[in-house]
Amino acid sequence: MNWRNERNTLFWIITLFIVAWFLPVEKEQFTRAINDSLVLLKWYAREHVLLCLVPAFFIAGAISVFVSQAAVITYFGAKAKKWLAYLMASVSGTILAVCSCTILPLFTGIYRRGAGLGPAIAFLYSGPAINILAIILTARILGFELGIARVVGAVSFSVVIGLLMHLIYRKEEASKAEAQLAIPNTGGKHSIWQTVFHVFTLVAILIVANWSKPGSQEGLWYHIWASKWWITGFFGILFAISLIYILKLGWQKVLIASLLVGVVALFVPGQPLISFSLAVILTSILLSRSDGEPSAWMNETWNFAKQILPLLAAGVLIAGFLLGSPDGGSGLIPGKWIASLVGGNSLASNFFASIVGAFMYFATLTEVPILQGLIANGMGKGPALALLLAGPALSLPNMLVIRSVIGTQKTIVYVTLVVIMATVSGLIYGILL
């Protein structure tokens, strides 16, 4: 046996043995942290996988199959017009009300189709950071000036960080641009309007199905929310029409599947997740058993799921173990420690808030009530903004997946840029106010 070839295996065996030997299982805080990690994983599975990630996987798969590489390169490629590429990337969050994990399949899809590093990173940051609902909630609950600061900071962050990533890796991007010149500018099988319509129905389902309940039970937003599953069903019908007329699936099969989903939705009205799950299952079966584009779409969707889900699960477990669960669990790091370290407006407090925000997982809109509690416990305004700018766009699960797409070095640079800019922005904001 050649022991030189087995050194890595031996190292991990010894490491795991030492870790197992010294596990502090008798400590209440340790066992509580394990419980918090499992609670967070369960919460994430219930709240985000089915309604957020599954539609995102289908959207990413559709981008890979139906959106031509030439189109992605035209608008997001290394040779695209910078103002157009960064404008489109930086305002995407006003449309996509997604969290730092749901944006990952979409980011992976456009990056692998030829998007430049800068615009792709701008899209990655802006998707969860510039959530119009979260910004409105921030202004109403945490103060108008903090809401405005979040808008200005998030939009400028997405552009500046994207440009900095492009500049740092400009030689690599130049090589990428040169290679893209050799790619023939051929259109896809479908017209641009067919592709836009098909992807639009999927994005609409993702957005509407994830509308959060408004704080007030009066007004237009509440009535829209109360009808969200009817609206989701409407876009589901448009999606079925797209399957028939654009993907050329047999209308009899699509009709039968649609009727089954409709019947379940009517007979089990209080459980929309059942009919939604049935729709996902039937769509997957229809696509898998069809030749050509439908099966290719399903294969790409499955590939995204295989790559991203295990990393997200591992990241959520680690985040829950260290920082606790959404029901108030503190994890291994007590919440009172965090609250005590983000008071005032020092460089240290802003930096710590940025670091905590970068590694902690925030679901869409949950950062506002969490910050409300921290501010009530003495958190300064500067650290509050720093956490708002770093938190929703980053998380430990998010970092693990980004690393698998763009590599360790680029991921470290991206995270470092976000933390530094969030720290500086929080410090300036705290000084001004």
CA distance 72 to 54: 23
pLDDT of 329: 58
Tokens standing for residue 226 = 């109360």
Angle between helix 228-245 and 251-267 (nearest 10): 170
Burial category of 244 from C-beta neighbours within 10 Å (exposed 0-12, middle 13-18, buried 19 and up):
middle
Mean of pLDDT over the chain: 82
Residue 94 has a pLDDT of 62
- Give yes or no for residue 236 having a pLDDT over 90: yes
Q: Could you tell me how far CA 394 lies from the centroid of its own chain?
A: 9
Angle, helix 228-245 to helix 272-288, in steps of 10 degrees:
10
Tokens representing residue 107 in the block: 């980011």
**Residue bearing the bigger pLDDT, 376 or 329:** 376
**Maximum average pLDDT range among 3-7, 13-17, 160-164, 396-400:** 160-164
For residue 315, pLDDT over 90 is answered with: no
Confidence of residue 284 (pLDDT cuts 50, 70, 90): very high
What tokens were used for 378? Answer: 């003495």
**Domain boundaries along the sequence of the chain:** 49-190+290-432, 193-212+219-245+250-289
Q: If pLDDT is split at 50, 70 and 90, which confidence band does 212 have? A: confident
